[in-house]
Amino acid sequence: MSNANLIILLSTLSTGLILGAIFALVAAGVTIVYGSIWMPNAANGQFFVLAALFGWTMTVGWGLSPWVAALLVIGLSVPLSYILEILLIRRFYDVPNRNISYFVLSLGITQILAGIYAITYGRWSDQFQLPPLVGGITLIGPFPIANNRLMVLAIALAILAALFILLRFHRYGRALRAVFQNREAATLRGVNVRAIYSLSFILGNAVIFAGGVLFALAYSFDLTVAWTMAITAFAIMIIGGPGSVLGAVVVGMVFGFTQAIVSIFASPTIAAFSYLGAMLLILLFKPSGVFAR
């Protein structure tokens, strides 16, 4: 294999891995919230961009170290989601067919946040770039990759692993999965379903925020990322099976690689067409998703 081909291959691999890990994080966040409280959060893309913009303000505006900023942003998601949960989300916990109400509600939130970004950040800049976590470049064979992107990839994979361990082994994670599977049975086993609802909303959003701030650290971004991310996360959730974190991670990775490959050989629009087409097919023929239990 010639050097040029090897470089293309490695660059596709690295982009695919980073994008895939970030897609997986956001889709996992969306699917945790949908699986527990039945809320299809269309505002996930706006939350994703919100995290990225907070990260930008903290590093570029206030001069904080990107490490501190990333931690602060993820920490900040907890009180913000909790306030949102108390104000809006909690009211619908007992409503049957609440997913459509939640969907509309999250579209409303999307529109508010998009409007706010347009009149605040949108006036300052088109393109936002954060300082890197670590400097330097590593050579993998002939292919140079920024250490910063490797670090982002490592952190994203570490967060995904932590999420899996939490869901599989920790008491709260097991209670959360019990609620995914059967609310009534979980209640009978002494699980406080409402507390789990709050917890999963906060956990899901924290994961989305982590995805947003990591994306901002690896790539420069603009405000249109929000809608693309929202639709992509939905596509991943539907194809992977709503409520299945494993499905979200696997399909998220597949989407990351698809995006990386298609962006090299065709246009990103073709990638978007292919996701949406796949999602429509799954919706029509197997709405429970590929990884449904």
Partner 1 sequence: MTAMPAENTPRGLAVHWPLAAFTVAAVLVPTLLSGNRYLAFVAGMTLLHILWATGMNLLYGYTGLMPLMFAGLAGISAYFVVNLTSIGWSFWLALPVGTLAASVAGTILGLPSLRLKGFYFTLCSLVIQTVITLGFVYFASITNGDTGISQIPRPSIPGGGELTGLGYEIVIAVMAAIGIAVLMLIVRSPFGRRLAAIREDDGLAETLGINVTYQKLAAFFIGSLYAGVGGALYAPYIGFISPRSFDVLISMNIWLMVAFGGRGTIWGPVFGAMLLAPIPFLLQDYYTVKDILYGVLIIAVTILMPGGLASGFRRKVPKAAVAQDIPARRLDPRRAA
Per-residue interface string for the shown chain with partner 1, residues 235-254, x marking contact by CB under 8 A? x--x----------------
Among 67, 82, 93, 103, binds partner 1 (CB under 8 A): 103
| Minimum CB–partner distance for residue 266 and partner 1 (Å) | 11
Among 51, 70, 114, 207, binds partner 1 (CB under 8 A): 114
Between 124 and 169, CB nearer to partner 1:
124
Told to check if 75 binds partner 1 by CB under 8 A, we report no
* C-alpha to C-alpha distance for 49 and 222, rounded to whole angstroms: 8
Residue 143, H or E segment: strand 143-146
Region binding partner 1 by CB under 8 A among candidate stretches 153-161, 172-180, 234-242, 243-251: 234-242
Per-residue interface string for the shown chain with partner 1, residues 165-204, x marking contact by CB under 8 A? ----------------------------------------
* C-alpha to C-alpha distance for 165 and 157, rounded to whole angstroms: 12
| Minimum CB–partner distance for residue 81 and partner 1 (Å) | 16
Among 112, 137, 161, 165, binds partner 1 (CB under 8 A): 112
DSSP code, position 128: B
Between 101 and 187, CB nearer to partner 1:
101
* C-alpha to C-alpha distance for 289 and 242, rounded to whole angstroms: 7
Among 62, 83, 86, 91, binds partner 1 (CB under 8 A): 91
Which residues contact residue 164 at a Cβ distance below 8 angstroms, ignoring those fewer than 6 apart?
245
Among 50, 80, 203, 279, binds partner 1 (CB under 8 A): 279
Strand, coil or helix: 170: coil
The gap from C-alpha 34 to its chain's centroid, in whole angstroms, comes to: 13
Strand, coil or helix: 182: coil
Phi and psi angles of residue 189, each rounded to the nearest 5 degrees, phi first:
-85, 10
Told to check if 101 binds partner 1 by CB under 8 A, we report yes
Told to check if 84 binds partner 1 by CB under 8 A, we report no
Told to check if 287 binds partner 1 by CB under 8 A, we report yes
- Strands 143-146 and 137-140 come out as antiparallel
Per-residue exposure over 159-181, b if at least 16 CB sit within 10 Å of its own CB, e if not: bbeebeeebeeeeebebbbbbbe
Told to check if 288 binds partner 1 by CB under 8 A, we report no
Told to check if 116 binds partner 1 by CB under 8 A, we report yes
Give the DSSP per-residue string, 192-257.
-HHHHHHHHHHHHHHHHHHHHHHHHHHS-B-TTHHHHHHHHHHHHHHHH-TT-HHHHHHHHHHHHH
- Residues numbered 131-160 forming contacts with partner 1, rule: CB under 8 A: none
| Minimum CB–partner distance for residue 34 and partner 1 (Å) | 10
| Minimum CB–partner distance for residue 71 and partner 1 (Å) | 30
Question: Count of residues binding partner 1 (CB under 8 A)?
Answer: 41
Residue 146, beta-bridge partner list: 137
Told to check if 276 binds partner 1 by CB under 8 A, we report yes
Angle between helices 193-218 and 66-84 (to 10 degrees): 150
The tokens for 240 are 């992977």
Q: Which residues bind partner 1 (CB under 8 A)?
A: 40, 42, 88, 91, 95-97, 99-101, 103-105, 107-116, 118-119, 122, 227, 231, 234-235, 238, 269, 272-273, 276-277, 279-280, 283-284, 287
